[in-house]
Amino acid sequence: MITPPDDSPTISCDAEDDPPASAPPGPLSATQQAEVAEQRAEATPTRRVVAPALEEVLYQPIPVLDRGFIRVVDYMGDDAAVVQAARVSYGRGTKRVSEDAGLIRYLMRHRHTTPFEMCEIKYHVKLPIFVARQWIRHRTANVNEYSARYSILDREFYVPAPEHLAAQSASNRQGRGAVLEGAEAARALDVLKDDAARAFDHYEELLNEDAAGNVMDPGRQGLARELARMNLPLNTYTQWYWKTDLHNLLHFLSLRADAHAQYEIRAYAEAMAETVKRWVPITYQAFEDYRLGGTQLSAAGLAAVKRMLAGEQVSQPDSGLSKREWRELMEALGRAP
């Protein structure tokens, strides 16, 4: 978020409308829900292309994790816009649906990416800071984040659901193993909740301002917002407007909806994937067929497949593949290693 000066229009924080920390009813306060409802109530005629299934959920928050959400706040183009750009056409540029689908699938298969850049989408996202730090690595996007230099953050932090509280993987240094249970799980949740609660208490004390915006102690000045925020933990929720084109969004999904992605960002990617299906169904189907559902064979992997198809018995040692590569190949081919 940007920070207007002292003599600029006031930006109200609506802090009074936020749910009390003790009983969060859901990601949006009543005031926020009313604002969303008001946005959704209006419809205006446009000459632009419209994606009806996406309009249905426009502005509507889709819950992710315990207190986060995504919501589509604007979009531009649809499947036909991909075709239109690929044809550099004067009119709609589309033919029969089957022809358009054939062209879109051809473009996806042969990685002709520029026509997919002709569609654009904008999300409002509420997410924990540690997820935001992974997300922001995707550089071909536009971002406006809520500013904790200028405003005071809400008392909202992510605590994993019990089924996502996993141990460190023994085999994969950046993966998860079994779910924690019993006392260890309980203790972990307690630590996360207590430390976050204390950090927020101290954040307000440092600011010398409570959640309702009242000065706590008139005898103190209060630490600058840009400094006080450093006491908050990485599971604090932030929010941003995030805008990107369809090509870069699919690339984001291919990495972040993948099984290797951390669960918490994957949850966002999966919710976004549903909105993409509504927006550009033909493109999304092609994406599933040619990217998500397929596999990449290395030179040595391809050579091994050729030998196997020719009836040879091939084993890891004589395949030229490392143990790990061999295992990955057998998994991709649905065979026992």
152 contacts: CB under 8 Å, gap ≥ 6: 13, 15, 207, 209, 225
Query: Three-state DSSP class for 320?
Result: coil
Minimum CB distance to its own copies smaller for 207 or for 271: 207
Instruction: Point out the catalytic residue in the list 71, 225, 229, 256.
Output: 256
Among 204, 223, 277, 281, binds its own copies (CB under 8 A): 223
> CA of 128: how far to CAs of 16, 49, 133, in Å?
22, 34, 9
Among 22, 90, 163, 259, binds its own copies (CB under 8 A): 90
Q: Is 68 in the site for its own copies (CB under 8 A)?
A: no
| Chain centroid offset of residue 262 CA | 11
The amino acid at 315: S
87 belongs to the catalytic site: no
* CB count in 10 Å sphere of residue 309: 8
Minimum CB distance to its own copies smaller for 199 or for 270: 199
Q: Is 256 in the site for its own copies (CB under 8 A)?
A: no
Count of residues of this chain found to bind its own copies when the rule CB under 8 A is applied: 158
DSSP bridge partners of 24: none
Say if residue 70 is exposed, middle or buried (CB neighbours under 10 Å; 0-12, 13-18, 19+).
buried
What would the x/- binding string for its own copies be over residues 19 to 48, using CB under 8 A? ---------x---x-xxx-xxx-xxxxxxx
| Chain centroid offset of residue 267 CA | 7
Among 16, 30, 53, 306, binds its own copies (CB under 8 A): 306
Minimum CB distance to its own copies, residue 156 (Å): 13
* Residues 137-176 within binding reach of its own copies (CB under 8 A): 137, 139-140, 142-147, 149-151, 158, 160, 165-169, 171-176
Q: Is 114 in the site for its own copies (CB under 8 A)?
A: yes
| Chain centroid offset of residue 194 CA | 27
Minimum CB distance to its own copies, residue 35 (Å): 3
Minimum CB distance to its own copies smaller for 21 or for 136: 136
What would the x/- binding string for its own copies be over residues 70 to 89, using CB under 8 A? ---xxxxx---x--xxxxxx
Q: Encoding tokens for residue 259? A: 């099984």
